[in-house]
Amino acid sequence: MNKGERFHYNILQEYNENKYKERLTASHIISDKIPLKIGSEWSREQLKEVPTYINIYVLWKERKKYALLSSEIDKLPIIVQKSREIRQGKDVYELIERYASVRPQPNKLMDFRELVDTLCSFEHSSKLDFTLWKICALSSMISRAVFRVSTEPAFGKDSVVTCLGELLGDVANLNKPTVAKLEYELTNKLILMNELGTLSGEARQKMEDFLLNIGDMKNKYKKSSRAGKGTLEEYDISEMSLILAFNNIDCYPDHEKYFDYVFSKAVYDRYIPFKFQGKIVERIKTPLFAHTLMESYKPFYEEYIRSVMWYSKNYEREAMDKKFTTTTADEYPLPARWQRNLNTFIIFIHLYAKTSQEAQQLLDELMVRHKNYISMVQSWNGGDEAVVTEQKLQF
């Protein structure tokens, strides 16, 4: 069995459709709590029929508006078993009357190192860089982080995030998105913004405002315009991560349109950067029987999901119990916002490493990738690029 095959898009898409096609999740919520009229009752005080209301959240899926009692919102994800149609003005809702909760039970069936190593386990020309990237990506899915990453083409940035999305849900992988599109996706746990495209004028200013707001890592995000169909006025982003991804600067004919030359310094100061090298070199074959293979891999997928859920609640305690001693972010001359995100990655490096020494080596290598990004940008800004050499670790 080719273990990398478990993360082939075709097979994961089969799993995603099979698992999530009937599910309503938090990512389907499109409204704040609102009242819904469900009938009327006789009022002894007013001596007349008065309307009766319930508080609901509206969820949108497959061109249907579902109404879920506000008291049940924490039960998501669910599968609707019974609903009835209710009209309110021009809107038609499917009021959910019976459902089945399908939330998996968290369980540590894989340790964090196995979660990283099995994820997209394709042959890579720089295994260390790919491992560091996977640690950062999983950190962002389990905890919260905002950062930027550059690589050469075919490194595997999209592959890792896309596979996490197919497996876990609540992930958006966006290419050259508008602010309106980004706001629509803010109910997701992880957003990968892949390239920004050419921005100028009002569009550039809106994007800068968005990046500043998310980069502050506040718990709430207020929409830039009035809420419309499919969006909220205010989003809870207390657990959301944002990764800004693009190719190395030499891949762009006009380097002045590269990310680091488009926005104000305040934006860059919110997103710690890393530059990874290498590319996926494995020839990934299209599976002939994707659905059958999905069924055989389903136990692995379920174990993976339940383990990620377990780490989302227990990662800090698990890392502390290892009692590793390494450098911490405040020992580097970095802006405070960069230190905050680096400390998140340090926690997950501890979870991945087998020894304190290996954890420090991995952290040192991650900081090499950080310095190489800074050097890359400086070299195109009139300076000389001084690539920091890496120490090869064995995995």
Rounded to the nearest 10°, the torsion over CA 186, 195, 126, 347 is -30
- Render pLDDT for 189-207 as a digit per residue (tens, 0 to 9): 999 998 876 777 888 899 9
Assigned domain for 173 exists: yes
Burial (CB count <10 Å: 0-12, 13-18, 19+), residue 283:
exposed
pLDDT at 47: 77
* Residues 109 and 66 grouped into a single domain: no
Backbone angles phi, psi at 218, to 5 degrees: -75, 170
CATH of the domain at 265: 3.40.50.300
- Residue from 242, 230, 218, 55 nearest 140 by CA: 242
* Residues 109 and 96 grouped into a single domain: no
pLDDT at 248: 94
Average pLDDT, stretch 311-332? 96
Boundary (domain end) residue, out of 71, 101, 131:
101
Q: Which residues contact 139 (CB under 8 A, 6 or more apart)?
A: 145, 344, 345, 347, 348
Assigned domain for 77 exists: yes
* Residues 43 and 95 grouped into a single domain: yes
Assigned domain for 290 exists: yes
Assigned domain for 66 exists: yes
Q: Of 253-262, 277-286, 297-306, which range is least confident?
A: 253-262
Q: What is the Cα–Cα distance from 339 to 100, expressed in whole angstroms? A: 42
Give the Cα-Cα-Cα angle 306, 232, 63 (nearest 5 degrees).
Answer: 75
Assigned domain for 393 exists: no
* Residues 342 and 255 grouped into a single domain: yes
Boundary (domain end) residue, out of 68, 101, 134:
101
pLDDT at 232: 61
Q: Of 141-150, 186-195, 377-386, which range is least confident?
A: 377-386
Assigned domain for 89 exists: yes
* Residues 204 and 336 grouped into a single domain: yes
Is 294:14 a contact under the CB 8 Å cutoff? yes
Mean of per-residue pLDDT scores for the chain: 89
Residue 163's pLDDT band (cuts 50, 70, 90): very high
Q: How far is CA 381 from CA 249, 263, 370, in A?
A: 11, 15, 17
* Residues 165 and 277 grouped into a single domain: yes
Residue 233's pLDDT band (cuts 50, 70, 90): confident
Average pLDDT, stretch 329-350? 95
pLDDT at 386: 42
pLDDT at 230: 45
Helix axes 290-322, 127-142, angle to 10 degrees: 80
Assigned domain for 130 exists: yes
Domain count, the chain: 2
Burial (CB count <10 Å: 0-12, 13-18, 19+), residue 157:
buried
Average pLDDT, stretch 44-63? 85
Is 358:390 a contact under the CB 8 Å cutoff? no
Residue 67, domain extent: 23-101
Between 274 and 77, whose confidence is greater? 274
* Residues 73 and 119 grouped into a single domain: no
- Render pLDDT for 267-298 as a digit per residue (tens, 0 to 9): 999 999 999 999 999 988 899 999 999 999 99
* Residues 126 and 59 grouped into a single domain: no
Beta strands in 102-151 (DSSP E): 146-151
- Residue from 66, 91, 87 nearest 78 by CA: 66
* Residues 72 and 129 grouped into a single domain: no
* Residues 350 and 289 grouped into a single domain: yes
* Residues 344 and 374 grouped into a single domain: yes
Boundary (domain end) residue, out of 52, 73, 101:
101
Assigned domain for 113 exists: yes
* Residues 77 and 133 grouped into a single domain: no
Is 120:11 a contact under the CB 8 Å cutoff? no
